Structure 1
Amino acid sequence: MHLLFPGRHHLLTDFQFKYLNQLIQTELLNVSDVEGNSLQQSKVESVIFAVTSANHSNTRRNPLPFYLRALAIEDFARDLNVPVYIFGIDDVGKLEDFASYTIKKIKHESDGLLNLNATNCAVICSTPVMQMYQQHGFRILPAELNVQSNSFDAEQPWDLVEHIAKTPEWSADGFTLNKVHTSSYKIWKRYQLGSKVQLLFNDHIIGEDGDLTATRDYNSYVRQMDEIAEMKYHDTSEYIRQGRIGDIGCAVGSWIKLASKDERFRESDFFGIEVSRHLFDICQQRKHNGEFANPYVFFAQKNAVTGLVFEENSMNCIFTSSLTHEIESYGGRQDLLNFISNRFSELAPSGVWVNRDVVGPENGDKIVYLKLNKQDGVNENSDGDFATRNELTVYLDGLSTYGRFLRFAVDFRKKEGYKLEYKEEIINDESYIKLSLSDACEFMSRKDYTDNWESEMHETFTFWSFEDWKSHLEEVGFTVMPTSSAYTNDWIVQNRLIGKCELFEMGGDTLKPMNYPVTNMLMIAEKKI
């Protein structure tokens, strides 16, 4: 009889070892499944660890990479005295019959050696995952689960992971030492995994699966990143310093791909930092595909807000694009200030941080009048929910610019508690929206992102003006280079604003046209000390 032990296996326990060892030594004698039926006495031929989410790591839900989990299992298995197999089972998204996928994956990876079924295999499981295997007729051995009392006779592994996450001195903690198997303890201590897990669990910006937002359409996002890569590189390449070059928030590695082709940087090392698991996976795949001209390209999945991602005083250049506004949006002001301070610490003397992002107008509180096109779609608004992202996109695309503003006013940072204040006024028989310049800019900058609307509604672009940015950078110790500037993106004006939105300010008793405000900035900050 084979024993299949599925799970993420980030940590192994003393209970698990004793449980498995007893099953093996007694040859399943007097062992009952979760339904109370006794198994026939049978020699245990092997124990098979199916390590799920093997392709995920560095997230709250999956902190350890597969190879570290496998190392601990290999050490754990030495005293079990039966063959032990370890198979990585990738996370493949929502799959109702994940049990069937796991069984097929093991058969494929073992070249048919392990063809598991209900007659030759029992499954060890104490979580609701057991139900998937029961549907295929597998007998379930409950491990920590006490079926009679519907409680647990011992801590489950994830209970101990969570305990370590809130125990700073975990490696000397008596409870941990008493519960964690030595195989996991050694791996966790050697690779300093306790501090890593504590960092991940204390991260309030990133979700448990390692993403800023659960509402982003990554297909459209990746496409957009590739489409604007040439423009980003053209705007920033002259300010890049040779040596150790880091791209924080590197998305799918498009900027690094272009920079690695530049002859000026053929002796440089490139480091891409990406917090999103989806995008990090794409970076790794591109590297495997040989898409980077410079072989010294390295990617890491890290959060640059919660701490340093490079050694202090080690980087000659750090590049960020369209990132800092996300930190403010999904984290908060203190997170952004921490991010700025971290980058200063990482740069070597004379190193530069090149930050390309959106920016707010200088007089954001100023009251302005926004005239919106009512002829380019339907002039109505629904604040109702839509079943799918596509349905919402179709609805938004059918609205006029005016109608889309009405929807924007409802959705914009609603979950963050923000309320967009505005009034509609008729002046000389024309309709205007009276609001702050900052809110007008938020709408004008976001109104065309209909394919990613839900995600964009969480984000703020205008929280700081260019002068605000200079002030905060200089406060940390940066010197803002004179080549830095805030500017109005002409493409946005020509393609998204003219004919759609007009800005006015009140001069006496009459409205006077305003120029479109700045939309973007390029900030070059040098660490001169």
Structure 2
Amino acid sequence: MYLLIPGRHHLLTDFQFKYLNRLIKCRLEGEKDVYGQPLAPADITGIIFAVTSANHLGTKRNPVPFYLRAMIIQEFSNSLDVPAFVYGIDDVGVIHDFAEYTIKTIRHSSEGTHALTPENTAVICSTAVKDMYLQRGFRVLPAEWDPATNSLTQPMPWDIVKLIAQTAAWRKHKTILEQMHPASFKIWSLYGVGEKVQQILKDPIIGADGDLTATRDYNIYVKQMDDIAAQKYKETAPYIQPGNIGDIGCAAGSWIKMGCADDRLHECDFYGIEVSRHLYDICLQRRHNGEFANPSVFFSQKNAVTSLVFEPGSMNTIHTSSLTHEIESYGSRQDLIAFIHNRYQELVPGGVWINRDVVGPENREETILLWLNREDGENELPLPPNATTQELAAYLGKLSTEALFRRFAQDFRHHEGYQLPHEWVTINGKTYSKLSMQDACEFLFKKDYHDNWLSEMHETFCFWNYNDWKSALEAAGLRLDNLSHTYRNEWIVQNRLEGKVQLLRINEHQEAAPMPFPVSHMLLLARK
């Protein structure tokens, strides 16, 4: 008889060891299933640990990598009288019967050696996952769960994980020492798992599965990043200092890929940092495919806001592109300032942080008028109920520029509690929206992102202008190189702004006088 234990298994408890040891020693005699029915005595031939979410790591739901979880299980099982087998079960999203998927994966991974059936296997499970196995006819042992009272009698492993995350001196905490099995404690201590878990679970920015936003279409996003990768590299390449080169927020690794093909940098080491699990997986797959000409390419899934991601004083060049505005958008001003200070700590003396991103206008606080074309689309088109991402994009594409602005005014930073201040005024027979230059620019440079509208509505582009950035960098000890500059994307002006919108200010004659479109992007070279 096999014992199957499905779970994420970030750590194992002292209770779990004693429970399994009892089942093995007593051959299931006197044990009852979740229905209170006794199990027939049987020899235990092996314990099978199905480690779910094995392809996830560094996230709030799955902070510990699979290889460490497997090491914990093997260390834990050394003192049991039967062999233990560890099988990784990848997270594949929501499927109808995860139990069936788990059983099939174990059979495939073991090449048929472990074909688990209700006749040869009992399942140990104290969570709602047990229902899937019960439906397939398996007998289920309750472990920490008491069916009579419908309550837990022992702490679950995840309870101890959360306790560690909240405890600075976790290695000396009495409850943790009593409940955590020594095998788990050994691996967690040896590899500094507790400290890493504390960083991950306390992270205010990243969601449960390691993403900034749950509304981004990554297929579209990756294509967009790849489409402009050549432009990004061409713009930043002249300022790269050879040596250790880091790309924070590396997305799909396209910038690093181009750096690897640059003859000047063939002896450099490249380090890609990506917090999004989806994008990190793509980076690993690309490296596996041999897409990077330089073998010294290393990727890590980390958050560069909450801590250093490189050793202090180790990096010659750090590159970020279209990242810093996301920190402000999904985190806070304090998070952005912490990010800046972390980059200072990581650079060698004379090292450079190349930051390419959007930027706000110099006169961002000025109240201006915004003319919006209402003849280039529909103005009274209702929003489809429960629209999918694709349906929403199609809907937005049919609206006039004025109607699109009205939609933007409702959606922009709504979930963050922001209400866009604006009013409609009429001057000499023309209607304008009266608002701040900053909010006007938020619309100008965001209005055409229909494919990822819901995600983009969380993001602010124009919170700082160039001088604001200069002050923040200098406060962290960095010096802004004279080659740093702001610029206006003329393609956007010609293809997305002209004829659709116009910026105006009231002159001394109380007339609406046109203004030029402002800068939209910056290239900052911050040196230590």
Q: TM-score range by the shorter chain?
A: over 0.9
Aligned-residue offset at 1:391: 2.1
Q: Is the 8 A contact 1:381 1:407 kept in 2?
A: no
What's the offset of the Cα at 1:395?
Answer: 1.5
Q: Which moved more, 1:369-378 or 1:400-409?
A: 369-378
Deviation digits for residues 179-204 of structure 1 (CA, Å, limit 9, x no counterpart): 11111000000011111111111110
Cα separation, 2, equivalents of 1:32 and 1:524: 67
Secondary structure at 2:491's aligned position in 1? Answer: helix
1:51–1:89: 8 Å Cα contact kept in structure 2? yes
Find the counterpart in structure 1 of residue 140 from structure 2: 140
Q: Deviation of residue 380 (structure 1)?
A: 2.9
Counterpart in 2 of 1:264?
A: 264
> Does structure 1 residue 501 correspond to structure 2 residue 501?
yes
Q: Do the aligned residues in 2 keep the contact of 1:383 with 1:407 (CA within 8 Å)?
A: no
Aligned match of 1:230? 230
> CA-to-partner distance for each residue in 1:234-289, whole Å, 9 max, x for gaps?
11000100000000000000000001100000011000000011100100010000
The amino acid that maps onto 2:119 is T
Structure 1 residue 366 and structure 2 residue 366: aligned? yes
Instruction: Find out whether 1:302 has 2:277 as its counterpart.
Output: no
In 2, Cα distance between equivalents of 1:444 and 1:520: 13
Residue 385 of structure 1: how far off its partner (Å): 5.5
Do structure 1's residue 526 and structure 2's residue 527 form an aligned pair? yes
Q: CA deviation at 1:498?
A: 1.1
The amino acid that maps onto 2:251 is: A
Whether the aligned pair in 1 keeps the contact of 2:76 and 2:183 (CA below 8 Å) is yes
For the Cα contact (< 8 Å) 2:248–2:304, is it kept in 1?
A: yes
Paired letter, 1:517:
P
Quote the offset at 1:134 in angstroms: 1.1
Letter in structure 1 aligned against 2:154 = A
Counterpart-to-counterpart distance in 2, 1:65 and 1:39? 35
| Aligned pairs (5 A) from 1:92-491 | 92-380=92-380, 386-491=386-491
CA distance 1:418–1:234, change in 2 (3 Å): same
Residue in 2 aligned with 1:54?
A: 54
Match of 2:27 in 1: 27
Structure 2 letter corresponding to 1:348: V
Aligned CA RMSD, in angstroms, stands at 1.0
Instruction: Indicate if the aligned counterparts of 1:304 and 1:339 stay in contact, CA closer than 8 A.
Output: yes
- Alpha-carbon offset, residue 386 of structure 1: 2.5
Cα distance, 1:420 vs. partner?
0.5
Give 1:400's aligned amino acid.
Answer: S
Please give the alpha-carbon distance, in whole angstroms, between the structure 1 residues aligned to 2:210 and 2:514. Answer: 45
CA contact (8 A) 2:384 2:392 kept: no
Identity over aligned pairs, percent? 58
Output one character per residue of 1:87-114: Cα deviation in whole Å (capped at 9) or x when no partner: 0000011112111100000000111111
Q: SS of 1:522's equivalent? A: strand
Offset of 1:84 from its aligned partner?
A: 1.2
Structure 2: give runs of 5+ residues left out of the alignment.
none
**1:3 shift after superposition:** 0.8
- The answer on whether the counterparts of 2:130 and 2:140 sit within 8 Å (CA) in structure 1 is yes
Displacement, 1:383? 7.0
**What do residues 388-413 of structure 1 show as CA deviations (whole Å, max 9, x unaligned)?**
22222121111111111000000100
User: Does 1:511 pair with 2:508?
Assistant: no
Q: 3-state SS of the aligned residue for 2:441?
A: helix
Kept in 2: contact 1:269–1:296 (CA 8 A): yes
- Give the letter aligned to residue 172 of structure 1: K
Q: CA deviation at 1:382?
A: 5.2
The amino acid that maps onto 1:380 is E
Q: Partners in 2 of 1:87 and 1:202 — Cα distance?
A: 29
Total equivalences in the alignment: 527
TM-score, length-scaled by structure 1 = 0.98
What is the one-letter code of the residue matched to 2:475?
A: E
**How far apart in 1 are the matches of 2:118 and 2:495?**
62
Would the aligned equivalents of 2:383 and 2:395 in 1 still touch at CA under 8 Å? Answer: no
What secondary structure is seen at the aligned counterpart in 1 of 2:433?
strand
